[in-house]
Homo-oligomer: A and B are copies of this chain.
Amino acid sequence: MMARSVPTSTDRAVRTDVRRNREWLLAAARAVFAEKGANASLYDVAKRAGLGTGTVYRHFPTREALLEGVLLDHFEALRVSAVDLADASAAPAPDEALTEWLRQFIVHLTEYRGLAAEVMSVLHDGASSLSLSCLEMRAAGAALLCRAQQSGTMRADLDMSTLLKLANAIALTAEQTSGHAAGQNASHAADDLLGYLLDGLRRR
C-alpha cells in the first residue's frame, strides 16, 4: 500500500473548514428547500449557511449538484428500506413490500415543493450524476419488483424504469393536487393514486 505520508496534488488532506462548510451548505439547503421549495435561490442558501455565494459554487458547481447532495441521504434511506422490505425473514408479502416501498418513494419526492419536477427532469438523463447516485437505490427497488413478479402478483412485462417513472408522475400529481399545504394532504392523495396505479400493474 502506498504511504499516506506522501500526499500528492490529488491526494491531500481535506481541510476541516471545507468539510464543515459543506455540511453547513447541505443543512442550509435542506432548510431553505423545505421552506421555499426546491427552486429557492442559491443566494438564500448561502445566506442561511452564513457563507458567500461563491462558496456554494465551489462545493456544488451547479444547482443540480446541490440537489444531488441533498438527495443522497434520501436515496440511501430508500435503498436501506428496500433491502429491509426484501428481507425474507421478517418482510411482508412481496406485493405489500413493493407497495410500501413505492409509497415511501413518493413521500420522499414530495418532501420539498418542486422536488418531484426537478428529479423528473434529471433522473432520466442517464449521464447525469443524480442518475448515477441513485443506481443502488434503483437496484434495491428492482429486487422488490422482481420478487413481486415472481410471486405472481405483478405483471411480468414491467420494468423498474417504467415503474419509477409512473411513481414519479404520481408524486408530481399529488404535489399539485394538495395545493400549497404539504404533508398529510399530499400523502393521502398520493396513496389513492398509487392504489389505482398498482391495481393496473397487477396480474389479472
Taking beta carbons and an 8 Å cutoff, which residues of A are in contact with B?
Answer: 117, 120-121, 123-125, 155, 158, 162, 165-166, 168-170, 172-173, 176-177, 179, 192-193, 196-202, 204
Contact = CB atoms under 8 A, between A and B. Distances in A.
Nearest to A168: B173
Contact of A173 (B125, B166, B177, B196): B166
Nearest to A126: B179
Contacts of A198: 200
Q: Which 5 A-B pairs have the closest CB atoms?
A: A200-B200, A199-B200, A169-B169, A169-B173, A196-B200
Contact of A124 (B125, B166, B176, B202): B176
Given A166-B169, A169-B169, A121 B196 contact: no
Nearest to A161: B177
Contacts of A162: 173, 177, 192-193, 196
A189 to B, nearest CB: 8
Contact of A200 (B123, B124, B173, B197): B197
Contacts of A166: 169-170, 173, 193, 196-197
B165 A177 contact: yes
Contacts of A165: 173, 176-177, 193
Contacts of A199: 199-201, 204
